[in-house]
Amino acid sequence: MSYWNRETCQPTSHEGPISKEARILALCDPSDAYNKPLYDGPLPEGSKLLAIGSTLADFDKESIINQNPNVIFVSHPKAREPLVELLNKFPSVEWVHTRSAGIDFIASKGLFSSPVQLTNAKGMFSSTLAEYCMMVCSYYAKDLPRLMRQKNEANWEQYPVLEIRGSTLGVVGFGDIGRASAKLAKAYGMKVLGLKRSIPESFSDPYCDEIYDMTGLIELVQKSDYILVATPLTEQTQGLISKEVLAHCKKTAVLINVGRGPIIDEEALIEALANGNIKGAGLDVMTVEPLPKTSPLWHLDNCLISPHNMDMTVSFMRESTEFFISENLPRFVRGIELLNPVNKSAGY
């Protein structure tokens, strides 16, 4: 299996005969500017866009049905039910590609039990989320809240800061984002502990000092000064960072979440932050988004909140669409293995 990474991979030159056509349905918002490369073209040889829409009704037309669509590109945030309806309506579909790395917004029994191949945009968002991880580490190590208060008060008062070098980053979900974060952490002189659902026997990584399977979660948080949650949201990872896990963290620990909100027991996290059981948190994802104005998280001084935008560079989504067009579409029409296959039984 092959996976794409925007930092390390070079554009592929695709040659060879076209073995089949790609007839694409775009389950998307027609006004989504990030999809203009798909909407306006040009598309690779052997590929054509049949229709754009967000409901089954947008595609349930004789002119579309007769062409036997075989590819669905998904970016609409409310695509879960329409996608299953499309798969039932068009048994000719062979491949579904989602513009995001996470697939929780389309996850369903209908999708996972279907024979279609599923791919995603893994590797498109890792570098900027890794930068965010290190920013949160610096935010707490150098006490940026205090710096900002003193600036606002015109208060020149020196205070001791922490050194990131020599501290330990525990990465819950040592995948693409986790590894990119570990790479930066190593540049800072940190020790890195990783956790994966399954560990290959031959696992070896220059950016990971120790690797654990899921049974090692408690040990990992006990040893970590900063804990990065970068695992995808699945039935197995929902609530993974529980009240019990938080109770085993150091009181000086900082929890960083770039995965999905429900991976952390949010009520338990609020309690841990409010009671000083952990030092702080940096949250780019929440259990409910947008975060309700009534959430106690807004009022906790030791919780840094960002509106799920730390991977939202100016070009990030357009690049993700272009990956589908320039890398995977040419492979599909030539019968070549697609990049970024998703294990539907695992949910990522």
Of 308, 319, 322, 334, which is the active-site residue?
308
Of 7, 244, 289, 337, which is the active-site residue?
289
Torsion angles phi and psi, residue 281, rounded to 5: -145, 150
Q: Are 347 and 232 in contact (CB under 8 A)?
A: yes
Specify whether 308 is catalytic. yes
Which of 10-49 are b and which e, b meaning 16 or more Cβ less than 10 Å from the residue's Cβ? eeeeeeeeeeebbbbbbbbbeebebbebbbeeebbebbeb
Strands 303-305 and 95-98: unpaired
Q: Are 30 and 49 in contact (CB under 8 A)?
A: no
The token duo for 2 is 């092959």
Of 39, 57, 56, nearest in space to 48 by CA: 39
Helix (H) or strand (E) holding 146: helix 144-152
Helix axes 144-152, 126-141, angle to 10 degrees: 60
SS3 call for 117: strand
Q: Are 256 and 229 in contact (CB under 8 A)?
A: yes
Rg (CA), the chain: 22
Specify whether 327 is catalytic. no
Specify whether 94 is catalytic. no
Of 260, 266, 318, 331, which is the active-site residue?
260
Torsion angles phi and psi, residue 312, rounded to 5: -90, 65
Question: Which residues carry out catalysis?
Answer: 260, 289, 308
